[in-house]
Amino acid sequence: MVNLGVNLAGVELKNPVIPASGTFGFGREYAELYDINILGSFSWKGTTRDMRLGNPQPRIAEMAGGMLNAVGLQNPGIDAVIREEVPNIAKIFDGPVIANVGGFSLEEYAENCRKLNDVEQVKILEVNISCPNVHAGGKNFGCDPKAAAEVTAAVKAVTNKPVFMKLTPNVTDIAEIARACEDAGADGVCLINTLLGMRINLNTKKPLIANRTGGVSGPAVFPVALRMVWDVYEAVKIPIIGCGGVSSAEDVAEMMLAGATAVEVGAANLKDPYACKTIVENLSAVCERLGVANISDLTGGAHR
């Protein structure tokens, strides 16, 4: 019998499969389809201090090998999430939850994480530093090592929960950003967020997405994500949540061999709402095929 359990910065998960933020809402819709308690955890929808309606429509477009999205962090705001969504999560999921936190200033990140520090079921804070810094000309926090470190330190100062920094791939050296986060006290990193891309409608000769650009996700980005997880594993000692184009149990194993301790599944949930359920059900067979009794032994295996 294969042991699928993993330890993520001190948080025990029954398996390494985690639906990624922005693709699983707050679990409510998926819980109507299957028992989501089979999951290791899930990362809830990116949450900011204030309610956000998101970007104008259209903001999602299909592409070969995946999709483009520019939803724009649509969410009800941190207070509404704690007041309304957290009690509902407790009714449908009994495992540890990952709270994905966004922000547009150091103060906002810190305020959101401070409020979540007392939410018992939230065991990990996943801090999205792909947000634009409104005090620095709109450049994303995650594109600059100094800014990434500042967010990390600001969050660590207000919480005793493990903090995982979610990194953008739209940088020259993602390992440099990861090292800056580790040096500032991060307990782990999550990578990758979406790649920046666009499509043009040939009939209108205009971008398909109203925002012009959007985040590329889906199977097409998997090799890029895998390479970045590999590079970051070589650069830091903190655990990694691998994310980007994962759509099968084999992809989970590959991501773990590259260095991930746990793996998030994103766009695959939007194509097939049972994607994570299927992956969990197939993991043991994949491990048996690989001759692995404990799935955690896969982590970093390709480096040895």
- Summarised one tens digit per residue, pLDDT across range 1-52 is 999 999 999 999 999 999 999 999 999 999 999 999 999 999 999 999 999 9
Instruction: Specify whether the CB–CB gap between 276 and 265 falls below 8 A.
Output: yes
What pLDDT is recorded for position 109?
Answer: 97
What pLDDT is recorded for position 303?
Answer: 98
What pLDDT is recorded for position 137?
Answer: 63
pTM: 0.97
Structure tokens at 231: 């590079």
Q: What homologous superfamily does CATH list for 6-55+73-195+217-303?
A: Aldolase class I (3.20.20.70)
Instruction: Specify whether the CB–CB gap between 186 and 164 falls below 8 A.
Output: yes
- Summarised one tens digit per residue, pLDDT across range 238-256 is 999 999 999 999 999 999 9
Cα–Cα distance for residue pair 125/277, rounded to 1 Å: 24
pLDDT at 134 over 80: no
Residue 200 confidence class, pLDDT cut points 50, 70, 90: very high
Is 131 a known active-site residue? yes
Choice among 113, 131, 143, 243 that is catalytic: 131
Residue 133 confidence class, pLDDT cut points 50, 70, 90: low
- Helices 249-258 and 275-290: crossing angle, nearest 10°? 60
What DSSP string describes 211-234? TS-EEEESGGGHHHHHHHHHHHHH
All structural domains of the chain with their residue ranges = 6-55+73-195+217-303
Cα–Cα distance for residue pair 244/232, rounded to 1 Å: 14
pLDDT (average), residues 143-152 = 96
User: What mean pLDDT, rounded, does the chain reach?
Assistant: 96
- Summarised one tens digit per residue, pLDDT across range 203-252 is 999 999 999 999 999 999 999 999 999 999 999 999 999 999 999 999 99
- Summarised one tens digit per residue, pLDDT across range 267-304 is 999 999 999 999 999 999 999 999 999 999 999 999 99
Structure tokens at 161: 């929960």
Q: Strand pairing partners for 196?
A: 215
pLDDT at 139 over 90: no
Cis ω before 192 (30° cut-off from 0) = yes
What pLDDT is recorded for position 135?
Answer: 72
pLDDT (average), residues 64-88 = 96
